[in-house]
Amino acid sequence: MIRVLMSLLVWGGLALSMAGCAAALSTPRGVVWVTITEATIRVGDPLPVPEGPVVLTITGRVTAAGAGRALRLDMATLEALGRVSMRVDDQVAEGREVVFEGVLLSTLLAVAGTAEEATTLVVVSLNDTRVEIPLSDVRELPVLLATRVDGQPIPIDRYGPLRIVYPFGQVDLQQVIYEVRSIGHLARIEVH
Q: Which of 51, 116, 117, 157 binds other proteins (CB under 8 A)?
A: 157
Q: In whole angstroms, how close is the CB of 68 to other proteins at the nearest point?
A: 30
As a whole number of Å, the end-to-end CA separation of the chain is 74
Q: Count CB-CB contacts under 10 A for residue 101.
A: 24
Largest CA distance in the chain: 91
Q: Which stretch binds other proteins (CB under 8 A): 32-40, 42-50, 66-74, 156-164?
A: 156-164
For residue 158, the 8-state DSSP code is G
Amino acid 48 reads: P
Based on the shown chain and the rule CB under 8 A, indicate whether residue 127 belongs to the binding site for other proteins. yes
Q: In whole angstroms, how close is the CB of 185 to other proteins at the nearest point?
A: 7
Based on the shown chain and the rule CB under 8 A, indicate whether residue 3 belongs to the binding site for other proteins. yes
For residue 150, the 8-state DSSP code is T
| Residues of this chain, 15-44, that bind other proteins according to CB under 8 A | none
Q: Which of 50, 65, 84, 179 binds other proteins (CB under 8 A)?
A: 179
Contact 59, 124 (CB under 8 A): no
Q: Is the peptide bond before 155 cis (omega within 30 degrees of 0)?
A: no
Alpha carbon 6 to its chain's center: 56
For residue 52, the 8-state DSSP code is S
Q: Which of 170, 184, 189, 191 binds other proteins (CB under 8 A)?
A: 184
Based on the shown chain and the rule CB under 8 A, indicate whether residue 129 belongs to the binding site for other proteins. yes
How big is the site for other proteins, counted in residues (CB under 8 A)? 26
Using CB under 8 A as the criterion, which residues of the chain lie in contact with other proteins when the complex forms? 1-3, 5-6, 9, 91-95, 126-127, 129, 155-160, 175-176, 179-180, 184-185
